[in-house]
Amino acid sequence: MSITYLEAIRQAQAKALADNPNVFIYGQDIGAFGGAFKATKGLFEKYPDRVIDAPISEDAMIGLAVGAAIEGMRPIIEMQFADFSTVGFNQIVNQAATHYWRTNVPCPITVRLPSGGTPGSGPFHSQCMEAIYAHYPGIIVMTPATVEDAYSMLLEAIYTDDPVIFCEHKYLYYHLKADSLPKQSLPAESARITRSGRHATVITYSAMIHEALLAADSLHDDGYEIEIVDLRCVKPLDIDTVLGSVARTGRALVVGEAFPWGGVTAEVISRIASEGFHLLDAPPAKLNARDTPIPYHPDLWRYHRPTASSIKSAIQKLLKD
Amino acid sequence: MSITYLEAIRQAQAKALADNPNVFIYGQDIGAFGGAFKATKGLFEKYPDRVIDAPISEDAMIGLAVGAAIEGMRPIIEMQFADFSTVGFNQIVNQAATHYWRTNVPCPITVRLPSGGTPGSGPFHSQCMEAIYAHYPGIIVMTPATVEDAYSMLLEAIYTDDPVIFCEHKYLYYHLKADSLPKQSLPAESARITRSGRHATVITYSAMIHEALLAADSLHDDGYEIEIVDLRCVKPLDIDTVLGSVARTGRALVVGEAFPWGGVTAEVISRIASEGFHLLDAPPAKLNARDTPIPYHPDLWRYHRPTASSIKSAIQKLLKD
Amino acid sequence: MADIATQSTGAEIDLPEAFQNAFRWMVLARTFEDKIASVYRAGKIVGGVYVGRGQEAFSAALAVQLNRGKDIYAPLIRDMAGRAAFGEPVIDAARTYLGSAKGSMRGRDGNIHRGSPREGVPAMISHLGAMISVVGGMLFARRLRGELENSVGAACIGDGATSTGSVHEALNLAAIEKLPLVVAIANNQFAYSTPTSRQFACKDLVDRAIGYGIEGINVDGTDLADCLQGFNKALSRARSGKGPQLVVGKLLRLAGHGEHDDAHYISKQMRASSLGKDCLAVARKRMIAENWGSEEDCKVLEEKAIEEVENAILQASGEESPDAYTHDWNACFSERFRDTQSDP
Amino acid sequence: MADIATQSTGAEIDLPEAFQNAFRWMVLARTFEDKIASVYRAGKIVGGVYVGRGQEAFSAALAVQLNRGKDIYAPLIRDMAGRAAFGEPVIDAARTYLGSAKGSMRGRDGNIHRGSPREGVPAMISHLGAMISVVGGMLFARRLRGELENSVGAACIGDGATSTGSVHEALNLAAIEKLPLVVAIANNQFAYSTPTSRQFACKDLVDRAIGYGIEGINVDGTDLADCLQGFNKALSRARSGKGPQLVVGKLLRLAGHGEHDDAHYISKQMRASSLGKDCLAVARKRMIAENWGSEEDCKVLEEKAIEEVENAILQASGEESPDAYTHDWNACFSERFRDTQSDP
Ligand SMILES: Cc1ncc(C[n+]2csc(CCOP(=O)(O)OP(=O)(O)O)c2C)c(N)n1
Ligand SMILES: Cc1ncc(C[n+]2csc(CCOP(=O)(O)OP(=O)(O)O)c2C)c(N)n1
Ligand SMILES: [Mg+2]
Ligand SMILES: [Mg+2]
């Protein structure tokens, strides 16, 4: 049997619906249609009351989820694309994120954001919004990079008593496959050493893990062993695992698919520089998408986001520093 | 004559309205009432067609501004508080910010965000959103810290052919005074050495400049000369001025009033670490607000945001490193 | 009461009882707000003070017909009367205004930003319109769990807030789901300084109802009896499965937007018009005229209110402020997801 | 045409002329979209293809009554017919779909995300509802400058998008400002897979008009003549200062949401109902029946359309893609505000 990243997400939701009557899913076209990406396929048939089509009202969708969470439910909200969550932004960062701190009543909602670029998706169906949400206190932001993590972290998200922004990468939906779903897993808040090495560390997450792996493979042929840290959760950051790796390699490249100003890469570098300065043998480097909207044309898109080849170049530069 | 930061903002708008018939101001209660903070006081009386009360519709307000900008106008949108711009977020980051890149037609809108904390303002009337907007390509983010800058940078914002998020600090509105308005000024995109020193550099912006100045004053008594860089514009960042200062002092503390994850402080540190690593004699440090919503109670609030005293401690720590 | 819907399914209201009940909370609210405004003017409150002067009848008339522990009530900035009627202790208002660590918001939020969501009172965020869908979600959850029975959710909002997309999405969603939601729009003629003519162009806000396929009722917000009857209809309809109800009360804000605002922009004519009647004075007169209570009864009520308010302010003033050093600075409930980032 | 407003101020329409004109663009749109769908199925288009099959009459009827260079037209995803009628060259559609660097979006955006704002055609962003206030702003600017004269702005939207707060805020704002805005709602019964019953609960979307204090018109979206007449009324009213107009067209999406979608969720009954009539076939029949054009004329038109479309696709396919290396990677117009951050 082979399971895709998308199927893992579907199965995590199926399991949560089966195990806990307080779980429900709310989103556009997620009912009988099974969702724009089929992440909820077949779930409506089994749980017609708890897999519910929403109107095109992202603000009210999040508001509804918060209200339901107050009453003890564990709503999962599917945004059709991460990019459309901007419309629900206020309810996420001001209503959901502040709820526990203000009222002492937890707000366990999971907002699934189909994120990231695929060829031809253009400026409004490709965005990576993890940094936007991570900036706000009270929100947990998960960015799974593997089929196993998509499954286990989504289940953790659903059972977490805080709002979780779950950034699932659309490029990985069909591209990534595993043999089976995990029975056990690393806790969501821990980063993972995806590949061990000793010449440099690449710290990244989500789809960029796979570009980094390709870059590392290719550098292996040149005699370099590149360590790769998968952040998994970008808020909170498991900085100990990051620093542990940098302590071994002395060199850090942080890669993100999001826009270059600020964001996860800046936060990670700033943490490394502040907390692990003396571990560094060379200036830490970062690599992001370009500072423009995400282009539609595949030829532009490939050059807009980091790729195995631009990561490889960045590592080579880092190794020379 | 003595002019407040708020009056400078009012006068910049008065001048723009007088000089250019394409300028108009749109916002809630900004007409006859003169605005929640009186930043448009008296302007409606002079320009009744161009100082216009808006409904409570932040999304449509920004949309209207973009449409008007397409037609060659130079709208200024006043958000009643920065915090409410979350409701216009989609139109800012997806409509305005992408407009030039997508269509080749510039979108010269200025969105004024009364920002930052004052005692008793609480979680929804105190926020600093500069990092949220700066993350998006196509947006310029200004954060003036002085009366003179409030004036000259707002005029620059209005005449800039790109969307500008203008973060004016509410705490400075009445607290800050100058003798007169500037005739000439440093270009908005340049950082400024607000105070020169040689033992360490504090890089900050907006209201925190004044806390940093107090900290520096106090450390001066202990024999330390602290240099202070006022970023002025946080996107783009004038990293050359920052690095120039760090080259002199070897030590950098970056201070921001915003939430700690990501944001301006992380971006500046990551740029210093990447581009100026060898200038550093000690790990760069950052100081932000705490990772919770902004508390209402003044006793909590004072402890939530950085203050002269917490900045002083952070510098002292940095000097020992 | 101009009832634009065709039929009422309401159980008849016991008007004298409801009236007396609501009147009591109106008096308490007015007394508290007069007091808190004077505390504010004495410079003893940090932040703003927002009062519901002139809106007490509309506010109390709704809440007095709700049941704490069963219904949901989402007040806004001018609903001191409704809050009290729904069972919020005056001491909590005093504590929240005065920043006592013992208030429901523990000093983290202030003034009218208070609530106790687990007891059916969501704590408003400032962003106007944002609470209605939250109430919708609470009702939705109860129905999903089969625990809705005939409870309702009520959400309060102003005329200005009807311009927000949030209100639109929430009302539309509630209509689709046919939730037992009553939305009370206090049309007090102004949103801060902005008159309704700059806020909407429809003849009457109640005309929004048809566009959502829901029922709408207009009431005279200065007349407690009309408010009681209008909400009674709306609530009975909602409880009996007829879906969302819109109740629009016409009245005038008899105060500034906040206590910092002198409301000079409200014209004398408008103040003198029938909109400008003081609902409390009107109700008091009616009480006595109908013999639902004597002049003496009213005085006793008023004195008791003063005593209760004075005590509450005194008590809250004497209580400790939150202590920043021992405060729990964690925005997340889950310990394992707390950031290790060192504190400033 | 069920006209819920009381009076028309419309100049009489020259129906035969308008009909012939609109029909021509309908044919062109259908021909282009059939072709682009087949190019998509051949795997030659990256991203999605969204067609307006069944909506051409409603789309063209509006745009054919607008004047390029004077009016504003904000099409959405199913407005190929309207775009063509408003003067968008077919080659631009082909280029944008096929990623030619010469398209108006220069490969930066694709498929239906195209426009030329300086020529009165804002380029839609994907976020539904967001374009209406932009059109409002364009009109607002023109009026401020005294350049409005009797021009109008038209914005297209679907039934599903009416659930967005954005549409609400924009309509309300336009009503307050009494802008000459015509909002065309193509109620094609579905938002992606979601039927209107899960999108709104009002009897008819046109009932939203009264809540904004604007005029509303219903038209039969499958009937070109009715569409032409309805829009004629709305446009004349808007041009003559009567403020925003809402025109709702009832029709059925005769395709999937995008070409990847087989629309299995649209029932046979609905397809067979009068909503499911193909507006193009209906219009063609009427043309001939009224003797506004012969069978022969129609054939010529259709053949010319095929030729034009084939040429455009051929030409666009042969054009260069944008070159990432020489591309101008700057999101800001102002050079001095460009970040010095080194490129990846
Ligand atoms: C989204 C949003 N924009 C702006 C504000 C600022 N604001 C607070 S109260 C207010 C006026 C509200 O008017 P209305 O809804 O009529 O209520 P009222 O104050 O009259 O009771 C405004 C504009 C806000 N709270 N939320
Ligand atoms: C704010 C927002 N949420 C979700 C989407 C995803 N989406 C794209 S088209 C569509 C359905 C639109 O339905 P409708 O408005 O009826 O237009 P139609 O496709 O039927 O022409 C949805 C949900 C979006 N584009 N914008
Ligand atoms: Mg009001
Ligand atoms: Mg539709």
pLDDT (tens digit, 0 to 9) for every residue of chain A, 321 residues total? 699 999 999 999 999 999 999 999 999 999 999 999 999 999 999 999 999 999 999 999 999 999 999 999 999 999 999 999 999 999 999 999 999 999 999 999 999 999 999 999 999 999 999 999 999 999 999 999 999 999 999 999 999 999 999 999 999 999 999 999 999 999 999 999 999 999 999 999 999 999 999 999 999 999 999 999 999 999 999 999 999 999 999 999 999 999 999 999 999 999 999 999 999 999 999 999 999 999 999 999 999 999 999 999 999 999 998
Count Cβ atoms below 10 Å from residue C311 Cβ, excluding itself. Answer: 13
Contact present, C280 and C34 (Cβ < 8 Å): no
CA D7/CA D113 separation, integer angstroms: 37
CA A112/CA C239 separation, integer angstroms: 34
pLDDT of residue C11: 66
Chain C: give the shortest CA distance to residue B24, in Å. 17
pLDDT of residue D7: 37
Residue B55 with chain D: CB contacts under 8 Å: 169, 172-173, 176
Can you tell me which atom of ligand 1 is nearest the CA of C253?
A: 20
Mutate to test the interface with A, among C133, C212, C329 (most CBs of A within 10 A): C133
| Å from CA of D66 to ligand 4 middle | 23
Cβ neighbours of residue D303 under 8 Å, at least 6 residues apart?
none
| Structural domain that includes position C330 | 3-337
Write out pLDDT tens, residues A104-150.
Answer: 999 999 999 999 999 999 999 999 999 999 999 999 999 999 999 99
Ligand in nearest proximity to the CA of A55: 2
When pLDDT is cut at 50, 70 and 90, the band that residue D6 belongs to is very low
Contact present, A67 and A42 (Cβ < 8 Å): no
Q: If we measure between CA atoms, which residue out of A240, A100, C338, B235 comes closest to residue D337?
A: B235
- Per-position DSSP letters for C12-78, written without gaps between them: PP-HHHHHHHHHHHHHHHHHHHHHHHHHHHTT--SS-----TT-HHHHHHHHTTS-TTTSEEE--TT
CA A119/CA C139 separation, integer angstroms: 42
Residue C243 with chain D: CB contacts under 8 Å: 201
CA D31/CA A139 separation, integer angstroms: 49
- Any domain includes D103: yes
When pLDDT is cut at 50, 70 and 90, the band that residue D2 belongs to is very low
Angle between helices C224-239 and C279-290 (to 10 degrees): 90
Residue B318 with chain A: CB contacts under 8 Å: none
Q: If we measure between CA atoms, which residue out of C59, C100, C95, C54 comes closest to residue C76?
A: C59
Q: What's the token pair of residue D163?
A: 């659930």
CA A4/CA A297 separation, integer angstroms: 26
Domains in chain D, number: 1
pLDDT of residue B321: 85
How far out from the chain centre does Cα C187 lie? 13
Location of structure tokens 């292996």: A220
Location of structure tokens 């208002």: C93
Question: What is the percent of chain D where pLDDT is above 90?
Answer: 94
Regarding pTM above 0.80, the answer is yes
When pLDDT is cut at 50, 70 and 90, the band that residue B256 belongs to is very high
**Antiparallel, parallel or unpaired: β D245-250 and A164-169:** unpaired
CATH topology match: A3-178 vs A192-320: yes
Task: Return the biggest CA–CA distance within chain C.
Answer: 67
Give the H/E segment covering residue B151.
Answer: helix B147-159
| Å from CA of A81 to ligand 2 middle | 11
pLDDT of residue A321: 85
pLDDT of residue C136: 98
Location of structure tokens 């960029």: A208
- Any domain includes D238: yes
CA D342/CA D344 separation, integer angstroms: 7
What are the residue ranges in chain C where pLDDT is below 50?
1-10
CA A218/CA B187 separation, integer angstroms: 46
Q: Which residues are bridge partners to C249 per DSSP?
A: C186, C219
When pLDDT is cut at 50, 70 and 90, the band that residue D340 belongs to is low
Q: If we measure between CA atoms, which residue out of A67, A66, A232 comes closest to residue A151?
A: A232
Write out pLDDT tens, residues D80-105.
Answer: 999 999 999 999 999 999 999 999 99
- Any domain includes C344: no
Q: What's the token pair of residue B199?
A: 């033992």
Chain B: give the shortest CA distance to residue A35, in Å. 23
Location of structure tokens 């067979």: D272
Contact present, A227 and A197 (Cβ < 8 Å): yes
When pLDDT is cut at 50, 70 and 90, the band that residue D341 belongs to is low
CB nearest to A29's CB, from D109, D194, D344: D194
CA C88/CA C59 separation, integer angstroms: 13
Count Cβ atoms below 10 Å from residue B130 Cβ, excluding itself. Answer: 29
- Per-position DSSP letters for D277-291, written without gaps between them: --HHHHHHHHHHHHT
> Residue ranges of the domains in chain B?
3-178, 192-320
How many CB pairs lie under 8 A apart between chains B and D?
154
- Any domain includes C343: no
- Any domain includes C134: yes
**Helix, strand, or coil here: D196?**
helix
Count Cβ atoms below 10 Å from residue C299 Cβ, excluding itself. Answer: 10
- Per-position DSSP letters for B253-295, written without gaps between them: EEE-SS-SSSHHHHHHHHHHHHHSGGG-SS--EEE---SSPPP
Residues of A marked active site are found at: 125
Cβ neighbours of residue A33 under 8 Å, at least 6 residues apart?
A53, D192, D193, D194, D265
pLDDT of residue C343: 54
CA angle C123, C127, C132 (to 5 degrees): 60
With 60 as the cut, is the pLDDT of residue B112 above it?
A: yes
Averaged over B231-236, what is the pLDDT? 98
Q: Please give the CATH number for the structural domain made up of B3-178.
A: 3.40.50.970
With 70 as the cut, is the pLDDT of residue B22 above it?
A: yes
Which amino acid makes up residue C217? Answer: I
**Helix, strand, or coil here: D218?**
strand
Cβ neighbours of residue D246 under 8 Å, at least 6 residues apart?
D171, D183, D185, D205, D206, D208, D209, D212, D214, D215, D216, D217, D234
Angle between helices D295-318 and D279-290 (to 10 degrees): 140
Question: What is the percent of chain D where pLDDT is above 70?
Answer: 95
CATH assignment of the domain containing D228: 3.40.50.970
CB-defined site of ligand 1, < 6 Å: B 28, 56, 58, 80, 84, 87; C 77-78, 126-128, 158-161, 164, 186, 188, 190-192, 253, 257
| Å from CA of B243 to ligand 2 middle | 47
State which residues have CB under 5 angstroms from ligand 3, the bound ion: C 158-160, 188, 191
Write out pLDDT tens, residues B139-150.
Answer: 999 999 999 999
CA D283/CA D294 separation, integer angstroms: 12
Using a CB–CB cutoff of 8 Å, tell me whether D99 touches chain A.
Answer: yes
CA angle B83, A163, C69 (to 5 degrees): 90
- Any domain includes D342: no
**Helix, strand, or coil here: D268?**
helix
Q: What's the topology of domain A192-320?
A: Rossmann fold (3.40.50)
